[in-house]
Structure 1
């Protein structure tokens, strides 16, 4: 098992590289490839593509690439995870949905020019250009003033004169949870597609939360329905934070019971915070240790 890690360029990497030094299966993305990755910005996709290229240089067959964040945690031990993926090898564990079914706001995700701000992780604003009749709405004008204040008037004026945004017609947009597990062979096909269609990555430069659409749409294009399965990473989207900024953190005894009752299909879960629910992580550690000894 190898780990390929990106540390946001705004963060000092030395703590991580020093703490994990000596581990031959841990690879950090080199400084020249590191990016500042605001929440829901295209840079997250660019970094992930670079990491996937690193992976493919080292492993070309019989392996899974699993996308995890710093707020994810295993629900099963390494032996179980290995055997589960080996048994189901070839399945692409990625949640694919019609965007109209899961995101009422899908038009603002795909049809506006969206901007994300490094110093405010949960704020994004978008603009419709002059070529789009929605340019003259009150909301669009308010967003324009906000972006001008944060990024400068020139950025707004440039955006106004851009063409109307249309999703590339040769590929259907589908979406779902950003976290997936893909066979290395699929990763190869995905990278080939991106190399052949750089305009697809360029289009998503202004998409809101592109990591929930970009990879999914490519896999959906390349693979048949019987080759797709739900993501192995569990997130409870039924309970959102009060500010609607995402799912609640797992932090209560009730949350622990929910996790322990999950179907064995789920290998990981998110979101966790060591300051809020550390006892849950302790209990999960006990569970996985017990499994590995049995």
Structure 2
């Protein structure tokens, strides 16, 4: 089984190097996108001896909640298809790490060959604020490139605007102070009519054949990514909606849960949880279909990665 790992990274070159070396086998190739706001040379230097590693030439800014993250992923998919790769495309961040051995990962994907592993539910999503409809019906504007420094404003002629117009006018003043063009607010914002909106986790694994179909869809619908310039967190909506459309909606056996474990439920901490040595039991108790976990920060606690390495070796 060939596995093509897409790694979106913006920090910790040593941790990305460790991730690559841990996952590297004869059948793996790595497609690494480094945030345009991050110096790439430290990553290249650490991985220069890795033959099965490619850096994506067209780089995007990975501004939190912005479409650049989606575009970076698409650049990697294009490179994988251009390289005529086979097998699976697995999307990871530079702060992910495997929970299972490479043998188990390859075996699991082989046994379920043809399936796409992706969490995505039709909007409105009961687990999201406002069902997630504000993400696709309102306009998101970045105030800066800082994390979560944005405003979401509904179209000015909508009921959503009139219900809380004082707050929205306040946000519009912020945009005008930064000379941000707000003319789009005069238009109703509707999800493209030719596709059904779904949303879910950013992290997925799909067959290369499905990746090629995604690229064809984007070539045929050039307005689709333009629409998502104003979507809040399009990395949880844009590609998920396409993949669901390609695989013929809900209930299709070719759509299975994501293979990446993330803890969004621990009280009193910044979410998602950044795992450390105290979380080993939680990570080891994940079922066989959870092949990876996020997130980790080796600069804060590398011991958890050491402990997982020992476990992976013993279960290989």
Query: What's the counterpart of residue 120 of structure 1?
Result: 146
CA drift at 1:117? 4.7
Deviation >6 Å, runs of 4+? none
SS at match of 1:125: strand
SS at match of 1:139: helix
Query: What's the counterpart of residue 6 of structure 1?
Result: 33
Instruction: Note the aligned Cα RMSD (angstroms).
Output: 1.7
Count of residues in correspondence between the two structures: 282
Distance in 2 of aligned mates of 1:196 and 1:241: 45
CA drift at 1:140? 1.1
What does 1:193-208 correspond to in 2, within 5 Å? Answer: 193-208=217-232
CA drift at 1:104? 2.5
Query: What's the counterpart of residue 27 of structure 1?
Result: 54
Contact 1:114 1:125 in 2 (8 A): yes
Query: What's the counterpart of residue 171 of structure 2?
Result: 143
- Consecutive unaligned residues in structure 2, runs of 5 or more: 1-27
Query: What's the counterpart of residue 211 of structure 1?
Result: 235
Residues 1:249 and 2:262 are matched in the alignment:
no
SS at match of 1:23: coil
SS at match of 2:203: coil
Query: What's the counterpart of residue 45 of structure 2?
Result: 18
| Cα distance change of structure 1 residues 209 and 285 upon mapping to structure 2, 3 Å threshold | same
Residues 1:176 and 2:200 are matched in the alignment:
yes
Distance in 2 of aligned mates of 1:268 and 1:251: 15
Query: What's the counterpart of residue 7 of structure 2?
Result: none
Residues 1:190 and 2:214 are matched in the alignment:
yes
> Please, what TM-score do these two structures have when normalized by structure 1?
0.90
Judging by fraction of residues, say which structure has more helix: 1
Cα deviations across residues 129-168 of structure 1 (Å, max 9, x unaligned)? 333243341221122123333x32x523x3433x110011
Query: What's the counterpart of residue 236 of structure 1?
Result: 263
Distance in 2 of aligned mates of 1:160 and 1:262: 45
Query: What's the counterpart of residue 59 of structure 1?
Result: 84
CA drift at 1:6? 0.7
| Cα distance change of structure 1 residues 182 and 107 upon mapping to structure 2, 3 Å threshold | same
Residues 1:92 and 2:92 are matched in the alignment:
no
CA drift at 1:240? 5.6
Distance in 2 of aligned mates of 1:272 and 1:133: 42
Distance in 2 of aligned mates of 1:167 and 1:160: 15
SS at match of 2:181: helix
Query: What's the counterpart of residue 109 of structure 1?
Result: 135
> Please, what TM-score do these two structures have when normalized by structure 2?
0.84
Query: What's the counterpart of residue 288 of structure 1?
Result: 312
Query: What's the counterpart of residue 40 of structure 1?
Result: 65
Query: What's the counterpart of residue 74 of structure 2?
Result: 49
